[in-house]
Structure 1
Amino acid sequence: MEKNTLFDKIWDSHVVRSVPNGPDVFFIDKHFIHEVTSPVAFLNLEKRGIGVLHPDRTVGTPDHNVPTVDQDKTIKDKLSRMQVERLRENCKKYDIELHDLGSDHHGIVHVIGPELGITQPGMTIVCGDSHTSTHGAFGAIAFGIGTSEVEMVLATQCIMQTKAKKMRITVDGELGGGVTSKDIILYIIAKISAAGATGYFVEYAGMAIRRLSMEARMTICNMSIEMGARGGLIAPDETTFAYLKGKQYAPKGEAWDQAVAYWKTLKTDEEAVFDKEYTFDAADIEPMITYGTNPGMGIKIKGNIPTTEGMEGSNKISYLKSLEYMGFAPGEPIKGKKVDYVFVGSCTNGRIEDIRSVAAFVKGKQKAANITAWIVPGSREVEKMAHEEGLVKILEDAGFELRQPGCSACLAMNDDKIPSGKYAVSTSNRNFEGRQGPGARTLLASPLTVAAVAVTGEIADPREVF
């Protein structure tokens, strides 16, 4: 009997037709849309006189371009305003569920899907956004698509897709104190590089992964694409089921029991073969931080920026260019570097657990005078919980500014930009040149590390500060 991976089981059950020597016609269970990549797709449908085949399988929310202050007022930026208005019009026209600005469940698309229970094990999920891989934490095949593919899914509920190669990354052992899931994924990317998983779908396994909460698992799957992967996934287990139980769109009653019985089958068979495997020891992982201009340029916070020893040609040139942009030198320590901004938020670390962890560490303390501290909940639900639990007061007393839900300073598509030349330690997912604003210098880290930086005003090890 053939031994299959979790990825095989979900993929093969969703293939409508295989094209000889070509891609599969692949059925999509859930399609998330937002204001940036959907307007052109809807416009093309209209031009072709085609409707939306399964509007009940699509869910929309504006997130990328939305302001995070005064969301009840008209959006000032003309393009952003137009894109959000188009999303409203298209969702209304085609009877698509929309969680609009100001509604109870508005938020970042990859935050509201799981918290509403829309995201479930065994599903295929797409969105016109690369960090759709987040949903893989539930044991789903989830990946980002382009605008033409958004149009294809709206029209047919299918996509033409070639099956990816399979990789398994096992993290075994116990994590040390102050080490989070963000450190795990930054460590993995630093080890295998920002292109090390190109062409693969990655399954994460091992004791250290199984012991993570659902929110922590989402952080890991979210950043799978930062090492070139098509997506990442984790087999569902009791942690997954407990998270989903009672959620608005989760199955109820007898349907719940049937769903869980199926979900329990969603695991890789013993002796199933992967195209590539990596194993890491959790004990070797420490708080991590990036120093360059791609997420693979990461080091342990107590480490030194790598030297150019052994580098040649274009690799050396691009490496030095990256350090020049960041204002760093090869071989110097990263710890102690002065910082200007901290940002807690995004689809990577904008969930309630992230905000709780920062609040717990800064309680009774003050941010450093040189730090501007932004904390942006990933959804209205997260914002509500942060108020109810008293976290907002703790954070505001410490000098943090709480903003309204949205992608915010993760990317420079809204008003929350880091000024040119300034350093930001961010819980987001990318540190490319200009990612957080023209000339902005971004260092990626965990919420705990961000809390330590906020309090000290410089790059600091959370294990020492707290």
Structure 2
Amino acid sequence: MSKTLFEKLWDIHVVMDIDGDAALLAIDRVLMHERTGGVALESLALAGRPVLAPERAFATMDHIVDTRPGRGDATLMPTGTAFIQATRQGARAAGIHLFDITDPRQGIVHVMSPEQGILIPGITLVCPDSHTCTQGAFGALAWGIGSSEAEHALATGTLRVQRPGTMRIMIDSQLKPNVSAKDLALHILSRIGSAGARGKVLEYAGSAISALDAEGRMTLCNMATELGAFTAIIAPDQKIFDYVKGRPFAPQGVDWDAALASWQSLYSDPDARFDTDLRFDAADVVPMVSWGTSPQQSLALGAPVPTAQAVAGRDTAEAHARARDYMDVTPGQPVTGLRIDGAFIGSCTNSRLSDLRRAAAILKGQHVADHVRAICVPGSSQVKAQAEAEGLDRIFLDAGFEWREAGCSMCFFAGGESFGPQQRVISSTNRNFESRQGPSTRTHIASPETVAASALAGVIAAAPVREISL
């Protein structure tokens, strides 16, 4: 019988079926960070339960850790140090892999996992973080869980999961040269809304997806949780196999040959059926920016803020009015040209080496506007080292950006660092919720190129089309 990629992955991981559509699934990898991982490890230790397979569990410092140069355990979050130390102690006691603050492999969990080959096609992977869907870009079944579920997965190597529905988004044609995977993600959000894939495994397919590199696919899958999806997934191909090969935790030697042979069947059969099928044309996508307080409240650069009536299918009148008031915008007003106070490049969405290269191509030889505070936070210590080896750090610093250590940083306020009240910020992050980057901060999300161009202009601005020649 024909199957979707999700159905194939589900079937090979079922330990036993449970009532209805639920099943006990085998879990191949458990990832954690210090904001939630220490809680699960401490709870497990108090219950006297060991980690079943410590070689398949990984913890990193990313969410609360300080990203300013010279960092240690101290954080701007009052209880941050306790989270860091609890995770360190718990990881060491349990014997799991730990990527500590000074480890050259440390980084945002969804960036360092594929870098290290922890993420490979065909596996199940869970992490107490909603953006775990990022890792479906490699043909893995990866989803976010809570701390109690992490505890169960660590102790038993399994999780009870209610079988989700399926959805496919086919994207034909090719993206324009000045359009990125982030723009594509925001375009889809603006069309189908933040509940458009609610509870479903979302498979991206089509010629535009095949044309994306591994990092672009991760950016696209990262934003699936903003569509309400259970997770996202993309069938692996040669680009993914080449990315994975030789990485530290990836299969090696004869194991690689066996793994690669099995990965060749990881695709949806041509006549497989999905609960929902949508189709987009990549040629219709243009550079995007958010105007409101939800990622679905996004529009083309230069387009006016819509009226409540124009988006009534996605926003209630109340939600639309609240977003307008919070962001201090009015219907018919273009977002392009709004004065900004800050610019941020980073997060699990857009902090990889290719993101930094594209932003640096915009910034090279120029300087940010005097009134703009601009910050760049690489997604991992490895990305930071590679960027510095290429001289990208000097481009950012010469342009007036702060150059930071790896971590989540100002993607969200939980780390203790923020932009100011009612300051307008252009950001390469994934969420523009109220106070996401600080109390009453107004966040516009966009691609790294748009963030860089806006930082230079001092207002929200489109990026010129640039070849990456650094």
- Shared fold, TM over 0.5: yes
2:340 counterpart residue number:
339
What code does the residue aligned with 1:348 have?
T
Counterpart code for 1:124: T
User: Residue 176 in 1 paired to residue 176 in 2?
Assistant: yes
Alpha-carbon spacing, 1:225–1:74, altered in 2? closer, same or farther (3 Å): closer
| Structure 1 stretches of at least 4 aligned residues deviating more than 4 Å after TM superposition | 310-314
**1:20/1:373 Cα in 2 relative to 1: closer, same or farther (>3 Å)?**
same
Q: Which residue is equivalent to 2:53?
A: 54
Cα pair 1:307 1:330 within 8 Å, conserved = yes
Contact 2:66-2:409 at 8 Å conserved across structures: yes
CA distance in 1, matches of 2:261, 2:364: 43
* Residue in structure 1 matched with residue 327 of structure 2 by the alignment: 326
SS of the aligned residue for 1:229 comes to: coil
Deviation at 1:454, TM superposition (A): 1.1
Query: Which one is further off, 259-268 or 63-72?
Result: 63-72
Once residues 152 and 43 of structure 2 are traced to their aligned partners in structure 1, the CA distance between those partners, rounded to angstroms, is 10
Name the SS for the 1:104 alignment partner.
Answer: coil
1:258 and 2:286 equivalent? Answer: no
Deviation for aligned residue 1:40: 2.6
CA apart distance, 1:465:
9.4
Residue correspondences, number = 465
Shift of the alpha carbon at 1:309?
2.6
| Alignment check: 8 A CA contact 2:184 2:220 kept | yes
Q: 1:310 to 1:237 in 2, by over 3 A?
A: closer
Q: CA 1:336/1:252 → structure 2, altered by over 3 Å: closer, same or farther? A: same
Q: Which residue of 2 aligns with 1:154?
A: 154
Following superposition, the deviation at residue 72 of structure 1 comes to 4.0
Give yes or no for contact 2:174–2:211 (8 Å, CA) kept in 1.
no
Residue 297 (structure 1) aligns with: 297
Is residue 2:374 matched to residue 1:373? yes
Name the residue aligned to 1:277: 277
Give the corresponding residue for 1:214.
214
SS in 2 for 1:262: helix
Distance, in Å, in 2 between the alignment partners of 1:413 and 1:435 is: 9
Return the offset for 1:283: 0.7
CA contact (8 A) 2:308 2:316 kept: no
Structure 2: segments with no counterpart, 5+ residues? none
Asked whether the 8 Å contact 1:105–1:381 carries over to 2, the reply is yes
| Whole-angstrom CA distance in 1 between matches of 2:326 and 2:71 | 38
Deviation digits for residues 185-239 of structure 1 (CA, Å, limit 9, x no counterpart): 1101111101110011100001111001101100001110001001101100010
Partner in structure 2 of residue 363 of structure 1: 364
Superposed, which structure 2 residues align to 1:423-438 within 5 Å?
423-438=424-439
Instruction: Check the 8 A contact 1:165/1:201 in 2, yes or no.
Output: yes
Q: Match for residue 452 of structure 1?
A: 453
8 Å Cα contact 1:169/1:204 also seen in 2 = yes
Letter in 1 for 2:337: G
Contact 2:69–2:404 under 8 Å retained in 1 = no
Q: What are the residue-to-residue correspondences of 1:157-236 with 2, within 5 Å? A: 157-236=157-236
Unaligned runs of 5+ in 1: none
Report the AA paired with residue 44 of structure 2: L
The aligned counterpart of 2:239 is 239
SS in 2 for 1:269: coil
Q: Is the 8 A contact 1:177 1:463 kept in 2?
A: no
Q: Cα gap change, 1:304/1:312 in structure 2, threshold over 3 Å: closer, same or farther?
A: closer
Question: Does the Cα contact within 8 Å between 1:342 and 1:425 map onto a contact in 2?
Answer: yes
Residues 16-55 of structure 1: CA distance to partner in whole angstroms, max 9, x if unpaired?
Answer: 0111225211111000011111233223223322111111
Q: 1:464 offset after TM fit, Å?
A: 7.3
2:171, 2:280 within 8 Å by CA — same for their partners in 1?
yes
Residues 160-182 of structure 1 deviation map (CA, whole Å, 9 limit, x = unaligned): 11111000011110211210000
How well do the aligned residues superpose, as a CA RMSD in angstroms?
1.5
Alignment check: 8 A CA contact 2:126 2:143 kept = yes
Give the whole-Å Cα distance in 1 for the aligned partners of 2:95 and 2:309: 59
Residues 72, 102 of structure 1: 8 Å contact kept: no
Give the CA deviation at 1:331: 1.6
Q: Is the 8 A contact 2:57 2:96 kept in 1?
A: yes
Aligned letter for 1:323? Answer: R
Aligned residue for 1:452, secondary structure, equals: helix
Specify the SS of the correspondent of 2:143.
strand
Contact 1:71–1:101, Cα closer than 8 Å, also in 2: no
Distance change (3 Å), C-alpha of 1:72 and 1:458: closer
Contact 2:65 2:73 in 1 (8 A): no
Per-residue CA deviation, residues 367-409 of structure 1 (Å, 9 max, x unaligned), is 1112111000011100101110011111111111101111001
Percent of aligned pairs with the same residue?
Answer: 42
Helix, strand or coil for the counterpart of 1:304? coil
Kept in 2: contact 1:71–1:102 (CA 8 A): no
| 8 Å Cα contact 1:196-1:228 kept in structure 2 | yes
Q: Show the counterpart of 1:75.
A: 74
Show the counterpart of 1:21.
20
Q: Distance in 1 between matches of 2:417 and 2:465?
A: 30
Contact 2:177-2:465 at 8 Å conserved across structures: no
Paired residue for 2:395? 394
State the distance in 2 between where 1:235 and 1:334 align.
36
Contact kept in structure 1, 2:180 and 2:287, CA below 8 Å: yes
Aligned AA (2:197): A
Query: Which residue identity lines up with residue 118 of structure 1 in the other structure?
Result: I
SS at match of 2:187: helix
Distance across 2 between alignment mates of 1:396 and 1:187: 31
State the shift of 1:106 in Å.
Answer: 0.7
Equivalent position amino acid for 2:377 in 1? V
Answer yes or no: is 1:287 the counterpart of 2:268.
no
Q: d(CA) in 1 for partners of 2:142 and 2:465? A: 38
- Partner SS for 1:346: coil
Which letter maps to 1:17?
A: M
Alignment of 1:441 onto 2:442: yes
In 2, the alpha carbon distance for the partners of 1:373 and 1:20 equals: 52
Distance 1:398 1:310 in 2: 39
Q: Which residue of 1 aligns with 2:410?
A: 409
